[in-house]
Structure 1
């Protein structure tokens, strides 16, 4: 599309800056998590930028994501951590991808796939230290460790990692953090006593990697922070992170409305004075959260002509309306916004535009969801890209 109505702009120099800075900060190897299409930034483009900046590992959720990395030419360490019963591990094993086991049943499935892969598997074990999500419950951990050690002796795999995941690392003072770290250390002791000698032991995600040095162990998994977003709002990070994503569009229309005119579905906003609205040609079909258009102070804002313009009325599937603020003088004279003028939904915030965090707060969610869900029909454009990275689509 030569002239998109809206686009996602991803600054790969920002990602390289973040990845390199995070690695320098923690002083141990790092994993860049590129699942969910690189948190909406483009998995393959982010991968190349992260590797160039020194990322030792990549992390993905699914085996398909890991295999896509191999198909694109990445040959470095990759961990995948989510499979379902009956899923074929053989292609990932053959590609040298680390797969994760949560249970003895999952180990048995991996064992059955090893022969077809033609090589031993690289297996990491995940222990549930208190998130109560994926991972072996601590009561079943000795059984999983024993089965893993038996398989290692039999040559079916090598146990390359032991890991877990925090529940409350974005709240540094939460007592669950110390409790989980203690359980993890106990789980490591059980594994060591059984004879397992993993290459990496990892517990910390972005927030813990930044704010809890004791949890860094051999490897830190950085997801959100790699993209320049704050994983623990309200707790300043010891690093200058640069947000990599900007979402922009153009005003499709500018129109005046009278006092008493209702706007968009349900007339949840009614003009209390004559004012001017701008039509932004994206909506929830493009991943713009509809719940960011609640009435009153919770409505999100966009940047227009260097000022913040609030959403008025409900966000629709393909479009929404913003008020072109009369209180800052946007409606009169040569500076009045017009059709085709730029709208910044969110960006780094350096020029006063809203950020993904602002949209998260207006939507009652987290910035992870804002950047990961945005896209739909919007193409991506990359800044700081090598020639092979220069194009992509959301």
Structure 2
């Protein structure tokens, strides 16, 4: 048991099962498990190994440092990374057998320098901005970038193995931009292939498109959030409707319970005021651990019991669904356990989990905090221990 009074329990079997479900959805396309942001807060190495055990044949990470870390862990799989700045250690990436995204002339130039320095042929994926307005070359500039890359391929410096893009509205499958981006992507693929590219993979689909839009699957899909069992389209369906199981359970122990009178202000600025004699419990997790401050309750609103302030994000204690009372603090939150509550220090508190037996979920927390479930799990602080269950992948 850690000396820290809380933990994130990660079910590796759930991750394996999620990838199997995604493989079924992907049909003939291979699955790239995107494990960026420390495996969406679940642990980079552990999530990657579980995803591969579930049938993923590729891994993807945003930052080059994450890709190099996976290689240092001994993870051997096709691996793509796409965020790096001028001067990044691309020679180390090539030596480690990491595929690189190229979406600008400067990036291609630095990849070529690294290839010459190492004597290794760089595997590159051309990134085209089909409408997100973020990374990648604009379609009007793709011909020049592709031609330069293919000229370098003729010299043996690079191998143009892929072309890819990101969707702007994948979580709204019927949005007109989805079809528009698909058309631009198809045109981009045709252009690059007409210039002589022999592509291994064309990839466009993230978690949402993997689950809802088979026409976007191409040769490779790139689920990330769905790998850890959360739904990227909660307005369409929750995890269970897609055969997914949330892999993270965030829990803590109460460190204090005490009876307080009616009219007691709770936490900073007394955003919550008790309306009757009640029992408060203190949970040792706060915004320094990644608990969103926006998960606090709303101050000032009168309640039927005579108190004021609404409850914030939900928690489960002793099988009862309760809520955060008052503001989220740096290291702790307070819960109104109710009049006559019998809980004592050491009682288990579930902040969010799979949703079984009425327990709160990361999606519940996202709604309380006005954000998305991606943020709830990825912002979990490094000092919160990760405990792994469900197999040998840990």
Query: Which band: TM-score by shorter chain?
Result: over 0.9
- Alignment partner of 1:239 out of 220, 235, 242: 242
- How far apart are the structure 2 equivalents of 1:319 and 1:50? 33
- How far apart are the structure 2 equivalents of 1:82 and 1:92? 12
2:371 maps to 365
Q: Secondary structure at the match of 2:344?
A: coil
List 4+ stretches of structure 1 deviating above 3 A.
1-4
Q: Is 2:289 aligned against 1:286?
A: yes
Q: Is 2:274 aligned against 1:271?
A: yes
- How far apart are the structure 1 equivalents of 2:261 and 2:180? 59
C-alpha deviation, 1:26, in angstroms:
1.3
C-alpha deviation, 1:236, in angstroms:
2.2
Q: Secondary structure at the match of 1:201?
A: strand
- How far apart are the structure 1 equivalents of 2:168 and 2:2? 44
The count of corresponding residues between Structure 1 and Structure 2 is 381
1:227-266 CA distance string (max 9 Å, x none): 0000111112662110000000001111122221111111
1:315-363 CA distance string (max 9 Å, x none): 111111011145xxxx35xxx2111100001000102111000011111
5+ long unaligned stretches in structure 1: 390-394
Q: Secondary structure at the match of 1:312?
A: coil
- How far apart are the structure 2 equivalents of 1:257 and 1:118? 71
Q: Secondary structure at the match of 1:111?
A: helix
Question: Are the equivalent residues in 2 in contact too, given 1:311–1:320 (CA < 8 A)?
Answer: yes
- How far apart are the structure 1 equivalents of 2:98 and 2:87? 18
Q: Is 2:322 aligned against 1:303?
A: no
Q: Secondary structure at the match of 2:180?
A: helix
- How far apart are the structure 1 equivalents of 2:203 and 2:127? 10
C-alpha deviation, 1:148, in angstroms:
1.1
C-alpha deviation, 1:8, in angstroms:
0.6
Q: How does 1:299-338 map to 2 (within 5 A)?
A: 299-326=312-339, 331-332=340-341, 336-338=342-344
1:50 maps to 51
1:19-64 CA distance string (max 9 Å, x none): 1111122111000011111000001011111111110100001111
5+ long unaligned stretches in structure 2: 299-308
Question: Are the equivalent residues in 2 in contact too, given 1:8–1:375 (CA < 8 A)?
Answer: no
- How far apart are the structure 2 equivalents of 1:239 and 1:263? 40
CA RMSD after TM alignment: 1.3
1:392 maps to none
1:90 maps to 91
Of residues 164-173 and 199-208 in structure 1, the stretch that sits farther from structure 2 once superposed is 164-173
C-alpha deviation, 1:3, in angstroms:
5.1
- Alignment partner of 1:383 out of 361, 380, 389: 389
Q: Secondary structure at the match of 1:152?
A: helix
- How far apart are the structure 1 equivalents of 2:156 and 2:95? 15
2:6 maps to 6
The structure-2 alpha-carbon separation of the partners of 1:89 and 1:150, relative to structure 1 and needing over 3 Å to count, comes to same
- How far apart are the structure 2 equivalents of 1:262 and 1:30? 52
2:25 maps to 25
- How far apart are the structure 2 equivalents of 1:6 and 1:277? 18
What TM-score results when the alignment is normalised by the length of structure 2?
A: 0.94
2:305 maps to none
Q: Secondary structure at the match of 1:222?
A: coil
Question: Are the equivalent residues in 2 in contact too, given 1:309–1:325 (CA < 8 A)?
Answer: no
1:341 maps to 347
C-alpha deviation, 1:2, in angstroms:
4.2
- How far apart are the structure 2 equivalents of 1:161 and 1:297? 51
- How far apart are the structure 2 equivalents of 1:369 and 1:349? 18
1:180 maps to 181
Question: Are the equivalent residues in 2 in contact too, given 1:298–1:362 (CA < 8 A)?
Answer: no
What TM-score results when the alignment is normalised by the length of structure 1?
A: 0.94
2:195 maps to 194
